[in-house]
């Protein structure tokens, strides 16, 4: 994920830098501080002026992530935290709070929210909305597919998902480098599902409108920066 490298870079870049003695610059951010940052960051990214700020930066050939990092630093100052120190702490969250499931979920939501803000600025509102609509369709297909596969042996489930993942990679690596559309994923599932052994009872549920037992599909992977 994009600004992870800036988080990690803060560990080294902050050495020897001048810090404001009135701002926190040692120890580790508490869970409460992190949750406050995550909440306020999401709220700021939803504001029209922030969206315009990031979009304008992209038009000026700047990296969108530089702007979202600026927003994080502004929030740290508002919280009484030295921004370089705050960025450094974000690079340590995975290690320090790895046992706190609730916080880690919020952390990855924070990471994903930043990525989406950058993508929206880079793609433009219309293309971004279309992409999110496709993501929603794929998620719906996943649920239907998993319901279809649930009654099969684990090894057959794994074989099917591996086949789908391979097909998705081939499509992305082909001419144009585009990802599979929801319709292509559904078609793949319908074809492959016909090759799988059918359960004796109850009969497989028919998700499609044709003659094949079509499920809603996909083995998705979210691109994601880890920390």
Per-residue pLDDT at 138: 76
Per-residue pLDDT at 186: 65
DSSP state of 75: H
Query: What's the mean per-residue pLDDT of the chain?
Result: 76
Per-residue pLDDT at 110: 95
DSSP state of 3: T
Per-residue pLDDT at 11: 37
User: Which parts of the chain register pLDDT below 50?
Assistant: 1-16, 177, 197-227
| Nearest residue to 71 via CA among 54, 59, 55, 88 | 54
Q: What's the pTM?
A: 0.58
Question: Residue 32 corresponds to which tokens in the numbers above?
Answer: 């409460």
CA–CA distance, 134 with 186 (Å, rounded to integer): 12
């Amino acid at each position: 994920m994009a600004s992870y490298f800036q988080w990690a870079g803060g560990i080294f870049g902050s050495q020897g830098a001048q810090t404001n003695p009135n701002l926190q610059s040692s120890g580790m951010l508490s869970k409460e501080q992190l949750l406050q940052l995550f909440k306020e960051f999401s709220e700021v990214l939803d504001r029209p002026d922030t969206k315009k700020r990031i979009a304008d930066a992209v038009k000026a050939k700047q990296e969108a992530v530089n702007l979202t990092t600026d927003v994080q630093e502004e929030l740290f100052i508002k919280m009484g935290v030295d921004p370089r120190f705050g960025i450094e702490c974000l690079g340590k969250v995975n290690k320090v709070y790895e046992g706190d499931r609730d916080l880690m979920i919020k952390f990855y939501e924070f990471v994903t929210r930043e990525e989406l803000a950058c993508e929206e600025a880079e793609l433009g509102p219309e293309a971004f909305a279309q992409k999110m609509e496709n993501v929603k369709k794929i998620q719906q297909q996943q649920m239907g597919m998993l319901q279809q596969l649930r009654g099969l042996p684990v090894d057959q489930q794994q074989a099917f998902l591996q086949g789908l993942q391979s097909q998705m990679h081939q499509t992305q690596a082909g001419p144009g480098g585009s990802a599979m559309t929801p319709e292509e994923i559904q078609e793949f599932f319908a074809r492959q599902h016909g090759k799988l052994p059918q359960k004796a009872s109850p009969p497989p549920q028919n998700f499609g409108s044709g003659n094949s037992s079509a499920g809603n599909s996909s083995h998705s992977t979210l691109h994601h920066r880890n920390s």
